[in-house]
Amino acid sequence: MATSRALFMAIFVFAIAFHSSVVSANFRKSMYFNWGAQHSSISGNGDDAQLVLDQTSGSGIQSKRAFLFGSIEMLIKLVPGNSAGTVTAYYLSSTGAKHDEIDFEFLGNSTGEPYTVHTNIFTQGQGNREQQFQLWFDPTASYHNYTIHWNPTEVVWYVDSIPIRVFRNYQSEGIGYPNQQGMRVYSSLWNADNWATRGGLVKIDWTAAPFVANYRRFRARACKWNGPVSIIQCALPTRPNWWTSPVYKQLTTSQQGQLKWVRDNHMIYNYCTDVKRFKGQMAPECSKPQY
């Protein structure tokens, strides 16, 4: 009995210590500019940031810490007007040739055309899992919430709390899943006119520069990465790990309806249906439930 009590107390103390590793962050405290700092700024109490692209350089920002599981969210107001050729990227990534990565990329457009949201996921350096959507609102007129939520069961991309994409964990069937490496948060504004708009046919109009993307209220409600031990710690199904609770293991019926609405009305590309590109050898997860 004494041994059992001691074990319980050890687990309880560990859980409390682990709970304290869940962080809520802002730009000033938790991120830094990794390139183009002369084009960047953080203002207010650290809750607002701005990235700029002109003919001299773009700019980028990244988190000081890496995370494994939880929710990363950002309010973003995208480049207005003729943003063709520009890309505003917002993503999570580890490092190295066999890195994991979860992407939002907002592809610029000619004035009056909708923005394209390009999503992708890499596991152990393997990507080619692109899905693209056109937003159902003007993302340049005001701030909108873009959230990446991931846990041991699934990765979900949200726009204003509406799920637009799900990638579930089928690792037991030999399909890669990003659960072995801590990932930092990145965002950048850069020149991608060799591919971003109509496959590179529409180039950047530099007379419209500088191009500006605005950010607000970065939050990382996520498990801090402290090396390989975090693979176990961050996945524990204990009460402090809210992201491993049953409610986050699968979309609700209402959320599944929202996902279907987005896919039916706003999806413009899905790697799982591109038979020509993959010569009929479709990724194995494409035949699995994606919610």
For 38, the 3-state DSSP assignment is helix
Distance in Å from the first CA to the final CA of the chain: 43
Residue that is written with structure tokens 């990446």 in the block: 148
- Residues facing 75 on adjacent strands: 145, 216
In 3D space, the residue among 162, 195, 196, 193 whose CA is nearest the CA of residue 267 turns out to be 162
**Residues involved in catalysis:** 101, 105
**Rounded distance, CA 261 to CA 174, Å?**
30
In 3D space, the residue among 64, 38, 42 whose CA is nearest the CA of residue 52 turns out to be 38
**Rounded distance, CA 88 to CA 132, Å?**
14
Longest dimension (CA), the chain: 76
Residue 64, Cβ neighbours under 10 Å: how many? 11
Structure tokens at 182: 């801590």
